[in-house]
Amino acid sequence: MNTLRPLPLVVFLAALALGRAAFAAQAAPATQNIAPVPALDDITGFEPIFDGKTLAGWDGDPVYWRVENGCIVGEITAATIIKQNTFLIWRAGVTKDFELKVEYRISAQGNSGINYRSTEVADQKWVMRGYQADIDGPEKNKPPLRHTGQNYEERGRTFLGLRGQITRLEEGKKPAIIGSLGGIEDTKAFINNDGWNELHIIARGNILMHILNGHLVSVVIDDDAKNRRMDGELGVQVHVGPPMKIEYRNFLLKKL
């Protein structure tokens, strides 16, 4: 009669170790990043919508808009004062769910903005209504730079979220502040008064985010289904007021 002999202890331990190693090899997850990594300069998936030389694909009043030194320039002079805001509108597509990165430089008395998910007002050429990432110069408002980075709805619900606020919008109610990103005065430190700034807009569904020079400065959650827009045109603005100049360069769009 055959009998089973117990394995020597050393053989048993070696087999156990091999079994554990094989199990670990099968069960161990792939190596993962366990912390976010910097990606401020990442432009993967972004495409230019301004060729740096012409206004091809854009439409606006040539009295106020031109290309100069690789930039889109909007300018009001003492001889060309306007009575209502006018826009340069991108005609080559629409903004729905997207990211936009663009650099801007504005004069001290400047007032401008980037409209998105917007519409052109009927019977008023180059006039837009809709969400706007607001931009102002350091001497335009008191306190200075009050509006840069906020979400303002041109010809609509007006102030949707000031710089430094997280807000929620509901039909028939005033925008509700539900969180803070630091407030108007604290976030003013993120703005370069003397040169170029980068504005990064992210629109996903009903959540709209404005990022200024790498700092999140405005979040709007638009639960107002009656008045919100989920798609529309893109445009840049020169505003009623004193002579001013706004320059835009490196317009990059990523559709989501």
| Domains of the chain by residue range | 47-255
Rounded to a whole number of angstroms, the CA Rg of the chain reads: 26
The pair of structure tokens assigned to 103 is 């650099």
Distance separating alpha carbons of residues 215 and 89, to the nearest angstrom: 27
Q: What are 238-253's pLDDT values in tens digits?
A: 999 999 999 999 999 9
Lowest-confidence pick of 114-128, 136-150, 234-248? 136-150
Average pLDDT over residues 52-63: 98
Whether the pLDDT of residue 136 is over 70: the answer is yes
Average pLDDT over residues 162-170: 98
Distance separating alpha carbons of residues 149 and 166, to the nearest angstrom: 12
Q: Are 187 and 215 in contact (CB under 8 A)?
A: yes
* The 151-154 sheet, strands edge to edge: 58-59, 86-95, 232-238, 111-120, 128-136, 151-154, 158-161
Whether the pLDDT of residue 142 is over 60: the answer is no
Task: Give 47-255's CATH code, choosing from 2.60.120.560, 2.40.10.340, 3.40.630.10, 1.10.10.60.
Answer: 2.60.120.560
Distance separating alpha carbons of residues 72 and 199, to the nearest angstrom: 15
Distance separating alpha carbons of residues 154 and 100, to the nearest angstrom: 19
Q: Which amino acid is at 36?
A: P
Whether the pLDDT of residue 60 is over 90: the answer is yes
Residue 112's contacts (CB-CB under 8 Å, 6 or more residues apart) are: 74, 104, 106, 135, 136, 236, 237, 238, 239, 244, 246
Lowest-confidence pick of 112-121, 136-145, 184-193? 136-145
pLDDT score, position 27: 54
Lowest-confidence pick of 25-29, 161-165, 249-253? 25-29
Report the Cα 256 to chain-centroid distance in Å. Answer: 13
Band of residue 138 on the pLDDT scale cut at 50, 70, 90: confident
Q: Which amino acid is at 143?
A: P
Whether the pLDDT of residue 10 is over 60: the answer is no
pTM, two decimal places: 0.85
CB atoms within 10 A of CB 39: 8
